[in-house]
């Protein structure tokens, strides 16, 4: 039924501003079922704002956001999440006083509010995040930043999303944790979850993603396979830090 070419998420011409400062100028991004897509760009390029505009966290002033064929432009974030679009923002929103297990249970309870949605089993989650299984009883405050980052993603998966937006999942992580994060993203893909992630690190993006967009000053400057992007010195030098 669903094939790799089914569009799951699509933005057309989205514009967004903070106060009077416009920061997105008509962004078109497409995510198809089964894909991992990287939205790349330097600091301040508009990556997080694009994800926020998709989720309805910042209002879009123009353009449309379509999720699984439904126009969700202007919807509240929680309604979009309930349709099956997970969102892991830049700042890690976990409960540091709770254990790993308890944080995941919070994710399960939020998921229970969505009709027809079976929360994920912990076994399925721990297959993607083996390190979390080992620290199930640990307080989140006693985890490293990278481990907390994994936990925020795991908690989002408890809501059984069909697609997930990940805002800079590799940011600030030690190299060994970056590898674990890449494995986790690929495991999500293997589970049939489409992923749109923002990223500055071309090494990470090429390890996990099928396609890439490059954004600069709030507009898409490049779109293609991650392989072609790696081979494109001009684009890399103009818009990426590597």
Ligand X SMILES: Nc1ncnc2c1ncn2[C@@H]1O[C@H](COP(=O)(O)OP(=O)(O)OP(=O)(O)O)[C@@H](O)[C@H]1O
The residues that touch ligand X, with contacts defined as CB under 6 A, are: 18, 21, 23, 41, 43-49, 200
> Least Å distance between CB 61 and ligand X?
14
For residue 213, the cross-strand partners are 39, 223
Q: Are 214 and 221 in contact (CB under 8 A)?
A: yes
**Residue 172: CB minimum distance to ligand X, A:** 11
SS3 call for 9: strand
CB 216 within 8 A of CB 239: yes
Cβ proximity to ligand X: between 107 and 216 the closer is: 216
Beta carbon of residue 168, minimum distance to Mg ion (angstroms, whole number): 6
Q: Chain-centre distance of CA 50, in angstroms?
A: 11
Among 48, 160, 170, 200, indicate the residue that binds Mg ion (CB under 5 A): 48
* Identity of the residue, 172 or 192, whose beta carbon is nearer to Mg ion in the bound complex: 172
200 binds Mg ion (CB under 5 A): no
Q: Quick one: tokens of 186?
A: 């690929």
Contact (Cβ atoms closer than 8 angstroms) between residue 118 and residue 108: no
- Least distance from ligand X to the Cβ atom of residue 67, Å: 20
Residue 45 interacting partner from Mg ion, ligand X, none (CB closer than 5 to 8 Å by kind): ligand X
β partners of residue 36? 195
């Amino acid at each position: 039924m669903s094939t790799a070419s089914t569009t799951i998420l699509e933005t057309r011409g989205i514009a967004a501003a903070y106060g009077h400062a416009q920061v997105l100028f008509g962004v078109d991004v497409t995510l198809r079922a089964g894909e991992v897509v990287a939205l790349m760009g330097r600091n301040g390029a508009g990556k997080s704002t694009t994800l926020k505009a998709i989720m309805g966290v910042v209002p879009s002033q123009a353009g449309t956001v379509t999720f699984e064929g439904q126009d969700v432009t202007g919807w509240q974030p929680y309604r979009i999440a309930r349709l099956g679009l997970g969102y892991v923002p830049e700042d890690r929103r976990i409960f540091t006083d709770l254990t790993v297990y308890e944080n995941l249970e919070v994710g399960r309870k939020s998921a229970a509010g969505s009709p027809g949605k079976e929360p994920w089993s912990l076994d399925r989650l721990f297959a993607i995040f083996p390190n979390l299984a080992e620290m199930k009883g640990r307080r989140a405050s006693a985890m490293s930043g990278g481990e907390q980052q994994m936990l925020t993603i795991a908690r989002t998966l408890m809501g059984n999303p069909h697609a997930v937006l990940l805002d800079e999942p590799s940011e600030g992580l030690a190299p060994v944790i970056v590898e674990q994060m890449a494995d986790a993203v690929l495991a999500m893909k293997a589970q049939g979850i489409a992923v749109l992630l923002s990223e500055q690190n071309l090494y990470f993006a090429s390890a996990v993603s099928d396609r890439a967009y490059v954004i600069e000053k709030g507009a898409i400057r490049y779109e293609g396979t991650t392989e072609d992007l790696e081979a494109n010195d001009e684009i890399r030098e103009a818009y990426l830090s590597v």
